[in-house]
Structure 1
Amino acid sequence: MAQIENIRDLEILAAFAQTHSFTETAYELNLSQPTISLAIKRLEKQLGKPLVERRRFGAGGVQLTEAGLVAVAHVQQVLTELDTLGLAVSAVGQSRTRRIGLPPIISSLLAWESADSRPLSLAGLTGSLSLQTVGSGRLLDQMRQHQVDYGAVAAVEDQLAITGVETRKMITYPFGLAGSQSLISRIGANTSGGIAVNDLAHLPESVRFVTLNHEFIHAQASDALLRQHIPASRIIEVADLDTLKAITAAGIALSFITSAGVDAGEGISFLPFTDAKAPQFNIYLFHDRDRATTPGAEADIQAFTHYASHQLASARF
């Protein structure tokens, strides 16, 4: 049986699976590049097979091997389980806490800031509740592992299918670029007309971009669109929405973001992608059928669905 020396190596492998770059992984985790390389090498030695391969010629850079892909799938499950370890231990001998999943942008649309906020009582929810405020990328992983009862999540897919989880598409927002007034003026963009994907290649090379990391669905949309036209050296990844907005408002970079994450009063202009095939920020309500096994849980799901449907119906576009 393989003996894994430390959890940090697993976290590094999971991060590398998102970036496919030792340099970007080091930047994202605030570590040195040799630290990333050594962690991967330790795992390869412990597991007995190469996990990454360098492609010296042509496109591709550093990629996961077939064994690496298998390892990453298991690592993601392990890390997800560790995320809930404390909650599971603390719940021993108590009635089960129902977990509500709400990513930050969707929480803002629902005017739902914390588990103790006023909307909780307005929604009519009862019992022991735990609010999981994580990005949609992480929340989707938790849903696939059946670790969250109900909530709302964003996905780029037009139809969201997860075994054992019932989903209902509610509203769609575009992805686009947001920037300070000065930066938008400098690149000569027309804020009323949006931006075409092909226009990205014609922006000045001095322009930098900032987006959210793999914990958010923005990373998947960015991989499908932004990274196809912009070199990785010009893209900054951050771990939270507040940091992204601060960088954007300061005029340091254009942010790759959904319009749902931009407020009119923030002094930021938004340029939606006009291409029909550009990724969309689709919001789904969901509940796990296997976890909703008591009358109280079913009543909560109905109350949450009613509240969220009403809020999203009047949310900004």
Structure 2
Amino acid sequence: MNYIDVFNGDADGLCALHQLRLENPVDSELVTGVKRDIALLKRVNAQAGDEITVLDVSLDKNRDALLAALDAGAKVRYFDHHFAGEMPQHENFEAFINTDANVCTSLLVNAYLQSAYLPWAVAAAFGDNLFDSARNAAQPLNLKDEQLNQLEHLGTLLNYNGYGVTLDDLYFTPQDLYEKMKPFENPFDFIAASPAYQVLSDGYADDMEKAEVSEAVYLDEKVAAFMMPDEAWSRRVSGVYGNALARIYTDRAHALVTVMDNGNYRVSVRAPLSNKIGADELCMSFPTGGGRKAAAGINDLPKAMLDDFITAFKDTYS
């Protein structure tokens, strides 16, 4: 029997996998990539008897590969909070999917494991910009404010590491970062003892300082779009900078538009925290778009469609 873990390379995917494998350690094949690399199941050559766990990637974007794995005789367990579309019906398929805007995959795994590793789920919720959900989930832990702030920063850093067009943009590949997390049952021990944490913390501080002088493409009280240059730092910071803006301007929607080396754009959208809807539908209306209600993106927006996107963005949230 082969164990295969397919997971998003961001905080939510990493922490979801870490919780599951703390509970049930196995020697598994890891399949992941940068945060936007979500069509991951097609990389799996599924065989009869394989046990595949999928974490934090849209079922709708992996439907054909999922059906192929089930037809091959593999068992698939699926945890996610993104748009799923029609749910397959198969005896070898077990789904834990909830698209509520206040839920993330790690919180679904936490419920499945009856809060066995709750601090990691709290960190993941912070990383997914679900601050209220993170604080609510953390209540049984009776943490001090300083500890809660540590989990917030950890989640932000794990999420920050997942952004990039290629793995070369990242400080650590998601596989490597998971291996560095793996020895730590307690996230506070990881914060205190892992050199990787300090590397990410320093990189995040440097990149955020650069992002704060980004040029506004459009700006009013309801929506803001910023243009980011074709640089590794801007690709790394685009998602977490959008999250930070969303927390500061809670009634405003945000879009970060990053220039790509092919001349097109990579777009990261955050719905207002006061109205966490619409980001998925907006982005899915453009080629290569997808995501969830509160946060979504477009991987490769044609240059000629930028004005159309800005118009649709304003229409969605104005």
Higher relative contact order (CA 8 A, sep 6+): 1
Q: Rg larger in 1 or in 2?
A: 1
TM-score by length of 2: 0.31
